Structure 1
């Protein structure tokens, strides 16, 4: 039995679907089981209950664990769980450079390592789904507002992240590994806006804001701490005119090329139109 946390989230939903398509027994955890809409045959339970009976491997999404794991890892051992796969972050590789996103993920990685459980930590970089934050403005005005139009990233499709996580849960070749995961191409923010426009048949323009104006907009989100906003702005500034890192790990692990951002935009066009 595989237990999946954050099972209705951007990545977790696809981890569940991937495992279910393989005929695996899956227990999906979500805050609201009644509205989960997961594949037939998947057992759905409340995150608050966290039932571990019969579970051999657990997928942990750090977004579910705001204050750390508490006694969860001890409970996993007590119930016979053998393996933990945690969705980490490529930012963990810069954690010693005062990157708060990376530090948080690295701290959680170390907590799992110390537990004695088998582990794997897929480390994706920029998520293609981050651009969903542009959807309202694209629908209303056909523009995107943000800093550093020429900052380069290699956004990854959430289905590719999920495929790697499913492989880490079910096979032994990724035990003790931290595979860095990216999309297959380096794209600017302006490129991403253009490709979304192409997918929806509409011209979409990226309107560059000053770092100060962008920071003020970012902090308008109550879930955006100032330290995270500052770290992101610094990272984007450093990536202007600098091709993004491209990892071969998605193709190596899954046996097929990573999906392009254009494919992601086509898959999600209805969310922008």
Structure 2
């Protein structure tokens, strides 16, 4: 059995779907016991998490938060063999506010100390971060954003999920970290152009206020804006790891096509 925390998130849901398609016994961990998953997938809440039959666990730090060490202790005590941690590329390459990279470094250290075999997926800027633009694109056909020239290599959540499932079902040698990015470096202006809308430069504070008004957690604007500010000075890294592991790497244009419905009028 494979246990996936953060199972309703962009990456977690894709991991659950792929495991279900492969007919692998899967437990999706969600705070919402009524969350919908493919047939055959078991659902557990963080407070009632069965690990006794689990071969491996996928850990989303945002989902487990301060309970990471307790979860790792439970996993080791119940015979789980491996952990796949969704980490951040800033651990390896820097960028953004140091406190966020330090959170992931601490999480990696905790997994290393757990006694489990581990794989760290150090992910770059999610292409799905562009979904934060959806309400304004739907409302006015444009993006109002900060740091338009900042360049990153956004990664499709499906690529992260496929690498994670590869690490679960056909694991590489134990205890390895992989830096995962999309295949091309794109500025915010480039991303808006691919979505077919103009980019209107506004102040970071205006962007932060707009994101908070959407109901996003307070740390999200700081994570995104802090990283973009760093990438304005030096573009974020690009690696070929996804291509090497999967034989191809999805572009931002492919991601935009997959999510086109989110950016149409009245879609917000």
**Which residue does 2:245 correspond to in 1?**
253
Report the alpha carbon displacement of residue 26 of structure 1 after superposing the two structures with TM: 1.0
Counterpart in the other structure of 1:268: 259
Label 1:233 to 1:10 Cα distance change in 2 as closer, same or farther (>3 A). closer
Aligned partners of 1:244, 1:97: CA distance in 2, in Å?
A: 10
Is 1:209 equivalent to 2:230 in the alignment?
no
Q: Report the CA distance between 1:231 and its aligned residue.
A: 6.0
Write the deviation string for residues 10-37 of structure 1: whole angstroms up to 9, x where unpaired: 001111111222221111111223232x
Asked if 1 retains the 8 angstrom alpha-carbon contact of 2:96 and 2:227, the reply is no
Relative distance call for 1:94 and 1:100 in structure 2 (3 A) is: farther
What is the match of residue 126 of structure 2?
127
Matched, 1:136 2:135: yes
CA distance in 2, matches of 1:97, 1:145: 21
2:15 corresponds to which residue?
A: 15
Q: Deviations over 1:96-115 (max 9, x none)?
A: 99612211011011001011
Counterpart CA distance in 2 for 1:94 and 1:246 is: 10
Length-normalised TM-score, structure 1: 0.88
Q: Deviations over 1:169-199 (max 9, x none)?
A: 12231521110001111111111112122xx
Determine the C-alpha separation between the residues in 2 that align with 1:68 and 1:96: 26
Following superposition of structure 1 onto structure 2, how do residues 1-273 of structure 1 map, counting pairs within 5 Å? 1-36=1-36, 38-94=37-93, 99-197=98-196, 204-217=197-210, 223-225=217-219, 229=221, 232-240=224-232, 242-254=234-246, 256-273=247-264
Aligned length: 263
Which deviates more, 151-160 or 42-51?
42-51
Counterpart of 2:193 in 1: which secondary structure?
Answer: helix
Contact 1:95 1:106 in 2 (8 A): no
Task: Tell me if the contact between 1:152 and 1:241 (Cα under 8 Å) persists in the aligned partners.
Answer: no
- CA distance in 1 between partners of 2:105 and 2:236 (Å): 22
**Which range is displaced more, 54-63 or 87-96?**
87-96
List alignment gaps of at least 5 residues for structure 1. 198-203
Q: Deviations over 1:195-251 (max 9, x none)?
A: 122xxxxxx1111013444455456566224xx755644532342375442111111
Distance apart, 1:45 and its partner CA: 2.1
Q: How far apart are residue 9 of structure 1 and its match? A: 1.3
- What's the counterpart of residue 201 of structure 1? none
Instruction: Structure 2 unaligned segments of length 5 or more: list them.
Output: none
- Give distance in 2, aligned partners of 1:261 and 1:107: 30
Quickly say closer, same or farther: Cα 1:137–1:127, change in 2 above 3 A: same
Q: TM-score, normalised by structure 2?
A: 0.90
Distance 1:94 1:243 in 2: 11
- 3-state SS of 1:47 partner: coil
Conserved? CA contact 2:87–2:121, under 8 Å: yes
Question: Is the 2:96–2:223 contact (alpha carbons within 8 Å) kept by the matching residues of 1?
Answer: no
